[in-house]
Structure 1
Amino acid sequence: MTADPLSLPFDTEEMLHGLRPWIETESPTFDAAAVNRMMDVAHYDLAALGARTERIPGRMGLGDSLRAEIPHPRQGEGGILLLGHLDTVHPLGTLKVLPFRREGGICYGPGLMDMKGGNYVYLDAIRKILAAGIETPLPITVLFTPDEEIGTPATRDLIETEAKRHKYILVPEPARPDGGAVIGRYAIARFNLQTRGRPSHAGWALSEGRSAIAAMARKVAEIEGMTGEDITFSVGVFNAGTWVNCVSSVCDAEVLSMAKTQELLDEGVAKMLALGTDEGDVVLEVKRGVTRPIWEPDQPGTMALFDMAKDICKELGFDLSAASAGGGSDGNFTGALGLPTLDSIGVRGQGLHTLGEHIEIDSLVERARLAAGLYCRLGA
């Protein structure tokens, strides 16, 4: 008799024990060696499942990617792609102020919510399925990448090429605040700005200088003032200055824009690029960075995938909602390609990208059962 995938013996304490090394292996995007140490941890866990693994060397100074094909009679064929990232926004040393710890029904740790918790849960579902001797209707491939937190500049091609081989894409990013899934995403555009002025001694010849910092600071208010209900602009990085007694001649900044429609995105990009000028005493250069495309909601394949997930959740005793969302993820790429993609089906929690990042522990088993149901029913 085949085991019921929704009743597999998931164990919260076992899952927390397995998650701990994932969280205590810090993996900030810009530290390739740290990200690769995290890839090593995941690589071992996948190899222990008997998966056929492939380490894909990083580029652009970033970490490696990891692809794994789960044991199956049709291993290697397209089927279900589990897509996740193992980089985080938290710098090395964050564990000193945000250690992996449990407090009642909450567990804390850097990257636990975004998105190591979801990745681990969906691997644990595979582990339990294999242990129960269940053969999923479709083969499963796992792809973990190193650069999602900076817009996926190095691995977008890899993700899109791999995703096109598969019928369904599962992205266990953290659930929306109400616990719901994501079935569409707004576009995300990044911009790199630089002002270049004229240096001088700040105490002796202040009037001779032209401050790149002051010019950029004035632009911050102008840029963030362009934010509206359906498009936002945020200056998230601002770097300048070496000596306080020198008028700074160079200042760099980075801007993130989110738009709900392609038309608004195009308008926002045009506004940002129009800010650039080479006239006057201070030059402003604006360069467009990486962009996540609009993933239009309500695509038939994605909605059919969501309907299955919703039915599984109903059997598990809770309702699953769905909506289009901001934030951006690698689901933007697969959804924009028209591939059936279900995003934000990972753990529930709060405080991602902050020193209060945490998950609700009871969501570990809940989401593992959802994962098992999806693996075992998709393609049946």
Structure 2
Amino acid sequence: MTATAFPATALPFDAEEILARLTRWAACESPTFDAAAVNRMMDMAARDLALLGARIDRIPGRMGLGDCVRARFPHPAGDAAPGILVLAHLDTVHPVGTLEKLPIRREGNKCYGPGIQDMKGGTVLAVEAMRQILAAGMATHLPVTFLLTSDEEIGSPSTRDIIEAEAARNRFVLVPEPARPDGGVVTGRYAIARFNLKTTGRPSHAGARLAEGRSAIREMAKQIVAIEEMTTEDCTFSVGVIHGGQWVNCVSTTCEAEALSMAKRQEDLDAGVAKMLALRSSANDVTLEVTRGVTRPVWEPDAKGMALYDQARKIANAIGFDINPQSAGGGSDGNFTGAMGVTTLDGLGVQGALAHTLEEHVLVDSLVPRAKLLAGLITTLA
């Protein structure tokens, strides 16, 4: 199928113009736990979308987290008609100040910066797709709404209800999370559960009365080893955060940690959750508490999702590249919408590598083809 079958793929996208907007967004650092920083990023995105003619709704944050932005583009069918939801997040894992260690810079085909791949890159591509569609006076068959959220990197505890409510009003969900390493898209994601752990011991002076104390850190260390050794091919376990103690000369009273479990099938995750909740302290005089945190349900490929993928692949082929369908580890808000049964396609964003690290980058030559793919989908879905 040729590009003439998808007129939006002939729109005059320009990689340098896209990159200029992307680097401006990446320079606005927006770590999840810094609500003020996230809201500065929401201000910037809301202004860009308003300039395109979208009606902006600001949804106040809760749980101490940032706001959300909903942008609805005018359409003859009106707001009530089911349409296309572009679902993206603007929070990142990089704390304010990361720009000193990961400055925005271009080296050949790579452009580096905090959050530039995950996922400001894909969000900018979606905005640019709408910009080009509107500038060309092209009509979309369905209304288009953007929902930009503030807490995806911690499992979306404050925005899941908004995401699911908005998805239920729409026919399709497009998620511009980063493309897979080979450029493929995501048609399913694994189930994920988070856990909070706390050990409580008995304090004592570590120098004068060491034997009288019971170390919460020591017990947590034992638990971490036991938890990670539960990993199998069906279900993985890892501990990524730990805090304990206050004074080196005091036996620690408390220690807290956060764990993550991931599985390809919901039943395997459910079994993993049961194992975590069944953990017990190895010592009678130190207590262990395990509480379940945020869970992302498994999203399994279905016929509607694969039909959407087929449409995306035809568009990609017309542009001149191919995309493979993949189920992926690492959750996204697509877990929620896909599990709801709303037709969802994820991984539509930029190509790049090393997200969540100080080497995070995008491939500049992926910007135009991926923007054309999004434009092709937005203008042809009906």
1:153 aligns with 2:157: yes
Please give the residue correspondences for 1:191-202 in structure 2 after superposition, counting only pairs within 5 Å: 191-202=195-206
State TM-score, norm by structure 2: 0.97
Q: 1:325 aligns with which of 315, 325, 328?
A: 328
Q: 19-28 or 278-287, which moves further after superposition?
A: 278-287
* Number of residue pairs aligned between Structure 1 and Structure 2: 378
Which residue number corresponds to residue 213 of structure 1?
Answer: 217
Which residue number corresponds to residue 367 of structure 1?
Answer: 370
1:288 aligns with 2:292: yes
Which residue number corresponds to residue 260 of structure 1?
Answer: 264
Q: 1:227 aligns with which of 219, 231, 242?
A: 231
Contact 2:185 2:325 in 1 (8 A): yes
Which residue number corresponds to residue 99 of structure 1?
Answer: 103
Q: Percent identity at matched positions?
A: 64
Please give the residue correspondences for 1:130-141 in structure 2 after superposition, counting only pairs within 5 Å: 130-141=134-145
Contact 2:6 2:380 in 1 (8 A): no
Contact 2:192 2:331 in 1 (8 A): yes
Please give the residue correspondences for 1:100-179 in structure 2 after superposition, counting only pairs within 5 Å: 100-179=104-183
d(CA) in 2 for partners of 1:221, 1:3: 54
d(CA) in 2 for partners of 1:214, 1:2: 64
Which residue number corresponds to residue 11 of structure 2?
Answer: 8
d(CA) in 1 for partners of 2:189, 2:55: 32
Compared CA separation, residues 144 and 138, structure 1 to 2 (3 A)? same
Runs of 4+ that moved beyond 6 A: none
Q: 19-28 or 73-82, which moves further after superposition?
A: 73-82
AA paired with 1:353?
H
Which residue number corresponds to residue 92 of structure 2?
Answer: 88
Contact 1:110 1:355 in 2 (8 A): yes
1:31 aligns with 2:13: no
Instruction: Could you tell me which runs of 5 or more consecutive residues in structure 1 were left unpaired when the two chains were aligned.
Output: none
Q: 2:65 aligns with which of 62, 66, 71?
A: 62
Superposed displacement of residue 3, structure 1: 9.2
d(CA) in 2 for partners of 1:2, 1:278: 65
Tell me the C-alpha RMSD between the 2 structures.
1.4
AA paired with 2:152?
E
Contact 2:32 2:65 in 1 (8 A): yes
Superposed displacement of residue 2, structure 1: 12
Which residue number corresponds to residue 351 of structure 2?
Answer: 348
Contact 1:3 1:132 in 2 (8 A): no
Contact 1:21 1:41 in 2 (8 A): no
2:173 counterpart SS class = strand
d(CA) in 2 for partners of 1:99, 1:254: 29
AA paired with 2:200?
R
Write out per-residue CA displacement over residues 159-192 of structure 1, whole angstroms, 9 at most, x where no aligned residue. Answer: 0010011110000000111110110111000000
Instruction: Could you tell me which runs of 5 or more consecutive residues in structure 2 were left unpaired when the two chains were aligned.
Output: none
Compared CA separation, residues 224 and 122, structure 1 to 2 (3 A)? same
AA paired with 1:344?
G
d(CA) in 1 for partners of 2:202, 2:159: 39
d(CA) in 2 for partners of 1:74, 1:22: 32
Contact 2:219 2:281 in 1 (8 A): no
Superposed displacement of residue 62, structure 1: 0.3
d(CA) in 2 for partners of 1:148, 1:18: 22
